[in-house]
Amino acid sequence: MRLERWTPDDLPLMRRLLGDPAMTEHLGGPESEQKLADRLERYVEREPTMFKIVEDGEPLGSVGFWDREWRGEDVFEIGWSVLPEHQGRGVASRGTAMALDLAAAMRRRRWLHAFPSVDNAASNALCRTLGFELLGPEEFEYPKGSFMTCNDWRYDLRDAAA
Ligand SMILES: CC(C)(COP(=O)(O)OP(=O)(O)OC[C@H]1O[C@@H](n2cnc3c(N)ncnc32)[C@H](O)[C@@H]1OP(=O)(O)O)[C@@H](O)C(=O)NCCC(=O)NCCS
């Protein structure tokens, strides 16, 4: 299994991950075709830390991290998603572990956060297993107009890079 950059041919994968009601239940609902296309263009052209998780040439899902400000500090935020037929066999855990290694190797940020919905059992379990620290629940407005309660999980990239 490996992480690969997105390409312009990946709209079908993007659509399955973020354009599907079941897959986006904890993410504020499916994105429109236009938003999916804009997101793919962004990943291809300007966001080198957004990845596909690939095994034997077949895409299984995605993982990526990006800059954000959180409580007055510059941090990374990370997110992940795995196609239904590949869930439940450690793909998100392994892909996320690889992304954490890359983020740590950049030595650009100390803290990386994940904000899974409190109802997202698999994502919360994954954070705990990979060594994130649970800081507590937070209210988020995402997308605009819809509110959800997410856990704030924090990962220390400095310790990981040591
Ligand atoms: C969340 C998601 C990425 C997990 O992917 P996955 O490849 O199935 O996850 P893994 O197999 O690596 O399992 C991760 C952990 O979740 C647990 N888990 C897996 N499916 C689960 C489920 N349906 N309910 C509860 N726990 C579950 C696993 O046992 C594992 O726990 P452990 O670390 O204690 O062993 C996948 O369900 C998904 O894409 N969901 C839709 C999109 C989404 O919610 N993205 C995350 C936003 S933060």
* Sequence-distant (≥ 6) Cβ neighbours of residue 111 within 8 angstroms: 70, 73, 75, 76, 154, 155, 156, 157
Pocket of ligand 1 (CB under 6 A): 23, 26-27, 79-82, 87-93, 116, 120-123, 125-126, 129
Please tell me the predicted confidence (pLDDT) of residue 142: 80
Spacing, Cα 123 to ligand 1 middle (Å) = 5
This prediction's pTM? 0.95
Mutate to test the pocket of ligand 1, among 31, 63, 123 (most ligand atoms within 8 A of CB): 123
Spacing, Cα 25 to ligand 1 middle (Å) = 13
> pLDDT in tens for each of the 162 residues of the chain?
999 999 999 999 999 999 999 999 888 899 999 999 999 999 999 999 999 999 999 999 999 999 999 999 999 999 999 999 999 999 999 999 999 999 999 999 999 999 999 999 999 999 999 999 999 999 998 878 888 999 999 999 998 876
Rounded to a whole number of angstroms, the CA Rg of the chain reads 15
In 24-110 the beta strands, taken as DSSP E runs, fall at: 50-55, 58-70, 73-82
- From CA 105, how far away is CA 109, in angstroms rounded? 10
Ligand 1 atom closest to 128 (CA): 33
Under 8 Å between Cβ of 120 and 56 = no
Under 8 Å between Cβ of 92 and 80 = yes
Spacing, Cα 122 to ligand 1 middle (Å) = 3
- From CA 43, how far away is CA 27, in angstroms rounded? 18
Please tell me the predicted confidence (pLDDT) of residue 26: 83
